[in-house]
Every structure is written in structure tokens, then in C-alpha cells.
Chains A and B, each alone.
Chain A
Amino acid sequence: MSPVHYVALSVILFVIGAVGVLVRRNAIVVFMCIELMLNACNLAFVAFARMRGNLDGQVIAFFVMVVAAAEVVVGLAILMAVYRARRSASVDDANLLKY
């Protein structure tokens, strides 16, 4: 298994995540898709670190995890608040802020 396969897997995961964000309406699913994209990036970082033989990519992967954890905390809180106010977890229903 060469590191290139890991990169290819990372691209596939990222695309799945991106398409999920674009096509799904449920905010929870969108959220999970974002996590999927972040982890695809992590995989790519680790794979490149392995390819280049230094630790930079691995360190950044940890940073991404920390940011993702913080993001989940804030994002789920917003999601809860929106759901309480509008009785819906659909991202298309929360469209008041517009032109």
C-alpha cells in the first residue's frame, strides 16, 4: 500500500463530505459531512507527512482535531437553539438572513 492510495481515499472521503454538505438538508447530516471533510483532510495531512518523512503534517492533524472538537461544540449549540426556535433542523428553513 503506497501513501498515494491514502491520498486517493482522502479525496474520495472529501468529495463525499462536500456533496453531502451541498445536497443534504438535515443540519445534523450536514454537520457530519463537514466532519467527514475535516477527517479527509487529516488523512491527507498524515499521508503527506509519511511521504515526506517529517512530522509537520501529523502535528497539523492534531490541530485540526482540536478545531473540529471546538467547532462541534459551538455548531451543535447553534443547532439546538435554531431547532428550539423554529422546530426544524433543516438548513433551508433557516433562511431569514438574506437580501
Chain B
Amino acid sequence: MTTLTGRALADAVHAQALTTVPATGALKLSWLLLAFPLFGAVVLLVGGRRTNRWGHLLGVAMPVAAFVYGAIAYFTLLGDTNREQDRHLYTYILVGRFQANVNLLIDPLSICFILLITGVGSLIIIYSVGYMAHDPARRKFFGYMNLFIASMLLLVLADNYLVLYVGWEGVGLASYLLIGFWQDRNSAAVAAKKAFVVNRVGDAGLTLAIFLMFSAFGTVSFTGVFHQVPSGGSGVATALGFLLLLGACGKSAQVPLQSWLLDAMEGPTPVSALIHAATMVTAGVYLLVRSNPILAVAPDARIGVAVVGTVTLLFGGIIASAKDDIKKSLAGSTMSQIGYMTLGAGLGPEGYVFAIALLLAHGFYKAGLFLGSGSVIHAMDDEQDMRRYGGLYRVMPATYVTFGLAYLAIIGIPPFSGFFTKDPIIEGDFTQHGTGGWILGICALLGAGITAFYMTRMMLMTWYGKRRWEAEAHPHESPAVMVWPMIILAIGSVGAGAFLIINDRLQNFLAPVVGVPPVSHGFVTPAGIVALVLALAAVGLAWLMYGRIPVAAVAPQGNPLVTAARKDLYGDAFNESVLMRPGQWLTRLSVYFDNRGVDGLVNTTAALIGGTSGRWRRLQNGFVRSYALSMLAGGVVLVALLLAVRL
């Protein structure tokens, strides 16, 4: 056993080892959370065309039912003194001393996610009723959406890494199906495949982490791993931390596994909203925050997490600033925001609670932004290029207002939710030791400015300025079934941050799981003020570039950074040249070696034997007299040998 360094030990004391009690009361029914959406998915996908007529109603009802149960569970948990409850369903694997149970863990962290997934998920699904109204495969779409929600719920409800992995893969599958929902488009099929393949790379990290847990601790349950990890040596903890980070990078689209997220915009817009707000990309952050006892004893891994988050938040912001496709710009924005959450998780106990707060607030405003963009795309006949928008605020007032509120939330204007949730993470960077903390903090501040820039750019290009529509475009406000979810999400965007942060509500609620931040900050911090000033300056800059002068209908050349950002900062080119091409060379080399080396050896031997026997066969010429000659020769040789031996 290695001794822990002083700081790691101090962190280990902060870390909360999970102890659970069997669920009681209403929480005994927590399997309903999985059962509802799973039932919806099975009925819609197995039922086939018979369910076409009423399929979307069932598809909406099931997540809503899960949300209702989630709310009941939440209030039950609030009224209970013991807030970490386990509902045993059945034993999944029992081999020797190893046991993996399918248990549902209801604790403050998972209930936050349950409410987010089912709540925001339900709103998005209700919205889809309008958005997908004319799609011939609408029933299948709702089936997949239910499957997505069920997988994500399994992911957050699992009480061990193995079952979490089942949900994790389910999310990967559902995202593949939904990104490639319009699979008749080649680009959608390719994007789905890309998302799946890139996610597999991250999954490998999680798989290896589970293997390592099993070999080091003999268990994969949260309770077992978290109790043993402080005494398991810092090497194992660090390795686990980095492997989990790799897993989180894949699902949460963090650098270097970010490339799938931008292409994932090929799916229908509600899918993008679901992937970006409620499910999928939040899974990585959940994994990291859930594994906080591991990160607590692996300070190196935590630095890695913080660096990945910081790089991604700049990376995503730069991409978002250059994209003209409204959905791709929002996708870059998601990368950037998830980067903030990852950075928060990398800060340790100072950041976990704010990472979750930002995640919840982001769930509202990003879903609002995506649904708003979907509403615009719907109105503009599937036009996604912001250079073809402009002046839409008069035509679509409801979408405009909800989108605008989400905009104010994301750029961190007080008192909207981004201000309350993002600034503590920026402030937390500066409290880290050494210059590293300052570097992280300055990058995060820069990110805040970039966020304000690209969001203002999006606002100006979409809603203001001259109308640059196509001649045949007749934009109109979306139907009520699409507007109401956006209104509810806008309310969330406005209020969620204040609700979670004021009075330390979320902090106290999550304290049993992630601990308490050692230092408490006020609402108005120096970093927060700088972030606000930077954001306002960026808004001004964006106005100078896109508001004061008319937006060009054709994208101008731009400087090298813009060109790079339009190409996703060469993320695909990097993957192609560093991973894909060497991989192809490797396979080609292997094929060559197989054909020439292995097959060559075998074939040469066979040809040698075949050829030789072909020659020898000629001796069998059918002439009796030549056989007689060879017999005679043989006899002579035998006799000669006998004589030679005798002499």
C-alpha cells in the first residue's frame, strides 16, 4: 500500500463513502422509472404498424408517467432522513465470491438526473409530436426516444459500474438509431456510424476501468469500490480516474473524442435536444461526479479532467463562433458547456456541486435553444443556414422570446441561470493551488467571453437584421404543442440557477454524495464580475460584426482561425491522418503479410509437394516392362546391399 500525499489525504477525508439502506415506501416502486419508457419502446418497436395511429400518444405518456413517478420519488426522498436508498431487483451475475446485482440506487445525485431526464425529456418528446407530425416513421421515432430515456435512466439508477455500463451502451445504441433516423440520407448514416465508433473508443476506457476495479477490488459496486479505493494505492486510483475520464470523453464529446457531436446534428432536432440537454452528453459528467471518491484519491487524474474540460470549452466555443449552420453552432456550444462541467468535476469537492448545477441549468436552456432552433428550422422549410435567416422576431414571437431567455441564461447575465451556475466554476479555478489554477481560470473566463460572442452572433443572424430568406420561404409560428414545451423550458432557464444556488439548496441536497465545497463564495465574486464584463464586451463585439453591418448572404473568406473552426478545428482531419490512415496502413500491411507471408509459406509447401509428386507420377507410365525393369533394379540393389553388409 502506498501512502497518500497530504493533499490527497485531505481530499479523501472530504470524500463521502457511499452507504445505502434498502428502499422503503414509494421508492420500492422505483423500477417503474425504467418500466414506463421501456414498455413504451417495446410496444412501439415490436407492435409495428398497428401502433402507428396512437403510437406517439403512448410515446409521450410513458416518459411523462416516469416523470410523475420521479417527482413522487423526489418528495419521498426529501421527507426521508436516509437519502441513499437501494432497491434490489434481482441478481445479475453470481460467480464465486463475485456478485453483480441489478439494484436501483435512489440518492440525491441520481434523483437530480432522473428529474432532468424525465422532465426535460418529456418536454422534448411532447414537442416532437408537432415537429415529427409529417414524418412517415413517427411511431418508430417515439419508440427510439423511449429507448433512449430508458437507457439513460438505467445508467443513472445503477448502483454498480456493470449495470451502469449496460445503460451506457443502451444510450450509445439509442443515439446511433436516432442520429441515423433519416438513414436514407448518406450523411445521416455516416454520422450515426461515426458517433457509434467514436463512442466505442470511450467505452473501451470504461470497460477497462471496470476490469481494473474487478481485478483490484473484486467488486464493481459503487459501495464496494468507493470503500476500498482509498486503501487500494494511488496507482490504481489514478489509472481508474484516467480510464473513467476516457469513458466520459467519449459520451460527453470532450477533446479528443469530440468529433462525433457536430455530425450528430444530422438527426432530427428533438434528438439533438435530447442528446445535448437531458441524456447522452450528461452521462460522462455523471460518471465523473458519481466516481468522486475515486477522483478524490487520484489528484493527477483530476488535473487531467480539468485540463480536458478547459481545452474542450475553448475548442467548442471557437467552433461555435464560426459555424453558419444554427444546429452545428449550438453543438459547439454544448461541447463548450460540457467542458465547463468537466472542468467543474476536475476541481474536486469545490466543483462537483456546481458541475451538477450547471448541468441541470444547461439542460433547460440548451433544450430551449435546440427546440427554438428546431422551431425556426421547421418554419423555414428545413433551412439551417443562419445566413438565410434574419428578421424572424416579428414572424415567430413566441419562439423568439423563449430563445432569447435561454440566450440570456447561457451567456450568464444575472439573474438568469447561467450566471449562478457557471461563475462558481470559474471562481473555483482561481482557488486552485499554483499557476495551474490561474491558467484554468483565465481560459474559463475567455470561454465565457466566447460563449457570449457566438450566442449573440446567433441571435443577431437569426432574429434581427434584414430578411435574407429564400424566395419561397414562408416562416410561421410553430403549433402550440411545440411552443408550450419551449415556454416551460424558458421558465427553467430563467429560474433554475437561482433556485439551485440561492440558500445552497443543491449543495445541501447533494452533500451526502459529493461533499461540501471547502470554501463558500458569495454571488458576486471578482471572477464573476470579470466574466460579466467580458461577456458584455463580447456581445458588443458581436454586434459590431453582425448587427451594425448587414450579414453577408455568402460566408466571407475569414481569417485562418475561422477557416479552421469551420472545419471543426481539423478534428476530423486529425482523426483521419493520425488514426484512420495508420489504421488502414496497418490493415493493409496485415493483409499483405497474411497473403504473402502466412499464405505464401503454406502455399509454397503445398506447391512443392504437388509439383514433386507430379514429376514422380510420370514413373507410372503403364508399360509393364518398365515396371519389371524397376523391380529388377530394386532386386539387384537389394542383393548388392546384402552382399555389401555380409562382407
Contact = CB atoms under 8 A, between A and B. Distances in A.
A21 to B, nearest CB: 5
A41 B254 CA distance: 98
Interface in B627-643: 628-629, 632
A98 B625 contact: no
B628 A95 contact: no
Interface residues of B, number: 11
Contacts of A91: 623-625
B618 interface: yes
Nearest to B635: A18
A97 interface: yes
B617 interface: yes
B623 A92 contact: yes
B462 to A, nearest CB: 86
Nearest to A18: B632
Chain B, interface SS category: helix
Contacts of B622: 95-99
Contact of A92 (B617, B625, B632): B625
Interface string B388-422: 00000000000000000000000000000000000
- Chain A: number of interface residues, binned into ranges: 10 to 19
Contact of B628 (A22, A97, A98): A22
B617, B618, B620, B628 — most chain A CB neighbours (10 Å):
B628
A99 B619 CA distance: 8
A99 B628 CA distance: 17
Interface of A is mostly: loop
A96 B624 CA distance: 11
B520 interface: no
A26 B625 CA distance: 11
B624 A22 contact: no
Contacts of B629: 22
A4 interface: no
B503 interface: no
A59 to B, nearest CB: 23
A22 B632 contact: yes
B621 interface: yes
A96 to B, nearest CB: 6
Interface string A22-51: 110100001000000000000000000000
Nearest to B614: A99
A8 B9 CA distance: 111
A94 interface: yes
Interface in A41-99: 91-92, 94-99
B621 A95 contact: yes
Contact of A22 (B617, B618, B625): B625
A94 B623 CA distance: 8
